[in-house]
Amino acid sequence: MNPEKLNTESYPSDKIARKFLVLAISYLLLGLLLGIIGGFQYILPPFLKDNVSFQKTRPLHVYLVLTWIFTAAQAGLYYYLPRIVNRPVYWLRGVWLHFFLQLSVSLVIIICFFLGYFGGREYLEFPPLIGAFILLGWVPFAINFFFTLKPNYKTAPVYIWSWSTGILFFFITLSESYLWLIGHFNNNVVRDVTVQWKALGSMVGSWNMLVYGTAMYVMEKISGDVKLFRSPLAFFFYFLGLTNLMFNWGHHTYIVPAAPWVKTVAYIISMTELLILGHIIWNWRKSLAAAKRNYHSIPYRLLSFGDVWIFLNLILAIAISVPAWNFYTHGTHITVAHAMGATIGINTMLLFASVFYMIQKENPDATENRKRMVGTGIIITNIALLVFWISLLGSGVAKIISKQNNEPFYTLMQKSQSWFKLFTYSGVIVFIGLFILIASVLLIIRARRRPT
């Protein structure tokens, strides 16, 4: 567990880890492009309406961006696992199998969407059979994780718990999301909607566990403090996060006519996030001082921006979990603001921290040469994302006001045009910022390493 060991060693799985990394950023690039097309469909309704309608752009955008998140986390794990245990991954061919399964499934999904074959479920809008192949792709990943690491959970740091939980719950929640294929669920609209909110709410928690585990690992390596993620406090927050993963999904279903206690449980659990918020505020001065001290480090800078987004998004999450406010915010772009803050602000910043940490270890000189370019990308992304996030909140508030005035949908869309323009144009700038980061990663990977 020596933080400096990463500098010199290389393992047979490094090559495929880099391929996963390139695959992940390809998903991000395509996902962002589809997001921009979707944005323009808000302000120019006829734009590609008959060929690549929103019916196709939204699922493509959602699938590609979500796949970026877990593929980037997997790339990191394939790179970090052998370094944690100082031996190669357990099943190298399994890593390749995972890569080809994932690539094939992605191509099939993209083709299905373009041809108009849908499953019609939120997030999982591809035909249901494909879900089985996604799970199959995760099997070699899980085998490699558990058999390479052989975790001893009595002494393992919290990031190993976090990764293990992420993998376990991805299997559980993806399987759960297909319960609608059974009549007991499909024949009752309340149960059907609950399956989607419950399974998907927890599935988001599962990949957050993978991402946070990765961020904690990188943080440990940067700081060199091996006690940081073995402390009782670290485990307290891990278990708090796990409890939220399991039970807080219900705050999405306040309006669904399920039993009242489902909502009460969700509300109580959601409010425990106040403890996390309190912890962030309590440590704010310390975090700020550390951020200033380590600002020269690209991964640290990205982790710090991730922290800012955790803070902003947590306030929003707690606010929209209050039932009286949720009644108004549910089904508006305020929910989208929360999703974008989480996927771009938190997950993407933390994952880029991991990506730059990996490539910096591989090629420190090339990374140093691109430092200014990366810094520009980080600043552009975060400023534009803040504008994007505020414009989504504005759009949500416009919808609430419109609903209160009982205005028809057409009027609402007309009145929200300025917010739609703002989120589309700021979305383009977010794309430019992230494109700079993507280009930097590719340039650093391609740069020839100076012989040592």
Partner 1 sequence: MPRIIIFLSLFITYAIYSVVVYSKGTMSISSSAFHESEKIRNGKELFQQYNCISCHQLYGLGGYLGPELTTAYSDPQRGELYMKAFLQAGGPRMPNFHFTKEEIDDIISYLKYVDTTAVTYKTRQIQ
187 contributes a contact to partner 1 by CB under 8 A: yes
Scan for tokens 């993806």, then name that residue: 174
256 contributes a contact to partner 1 by CB under 8 A: yes
**Which part of the chain contacts partner 1 (CB under 8 A), choosing from 89-97, 257-265, 306-314, 373-381?**
257-265
Contact 179, 208 (CB under 8 A): no
Rg, the chain, Cα only: 22
**Which part of the chain contacts partner 1 (CB under 8 A), choosing from 69-77, 186-194, 301-309, 358-366?**
186-194
Return the number of the residue (55 or 418) whose C-beta is nearest partner 1: 55
Instruction: Pick the binder of partner 1 from 261, 292, 404, 448 (CB under 8 A).
Output: 261
DSSP string spanning 27-86? HHHHHHHHHHHHHHHHHSTTTTTTTS-HHHHHHHHHHHHHHHHHHHHHHHHHHHHHHHHT
- What are the tokens at 79? 């790179």
- Per the document, the length of the chain is 452
Among 197, 196, 194, 321, which residue's Cα sits nearest to residue 258? 194
301 contributes a contact to partner 1 by CB under 8 A: no
Residue 48 Cα to chain centre, angstroms: 28
Residue 250's identity, in one-letter code, is G
227 contributes a contact to partner 1 by CB under 8 A: no
Site string for partner 1, 22-61 (x = CB under 8 A): -------------------xx--xx--xx--xxxx-xx--
Q: What's the closest the beta carbon of residue 381 comes to partner 1, in angstroms?
A: 24
91 contributes a contact to partner 1 by CB under 8 A: no
Among 277, 283, 282, 208, which residue's Cα sits nearest to residue 242? 208
Q: Burial-class residue 50 by CB neighbours within 10 Å (0-12, 13-18, 19+).
A: exposed
242 contributes a contact to partner 1 by CB under 8 A: yes
Question: d(Cα 102, Cα 296) in Å, to the nearest integer?
Answer: 35
Return the number of the residue (8 or 406) whose C-beta is nearest partner 1: 406
225 contributes a contact to partner 1 by CB under 8 A: no
- What are the tokens at 227? 């006690």
11 contributes a contact to partner 1 by CB under 8 A: no
265 contributes a contact to partner 1 by CB under 8 A: yes
Contact 367, 375 (CB under 8 A): no
Provide the binding-site residues for partner 1, judged by CB under 8 A. Answer: 41-42, 45-46, 49-50, 53-56, 58-59, 118-122, 125, 153-154, 161, 176, 179, 184-191, 193-198, 235, 239, 242-243, 246-247, 252-253, 255-259, 261-262, 265, 327, 330-333, 335-336, 399, 406, 408-409, 413
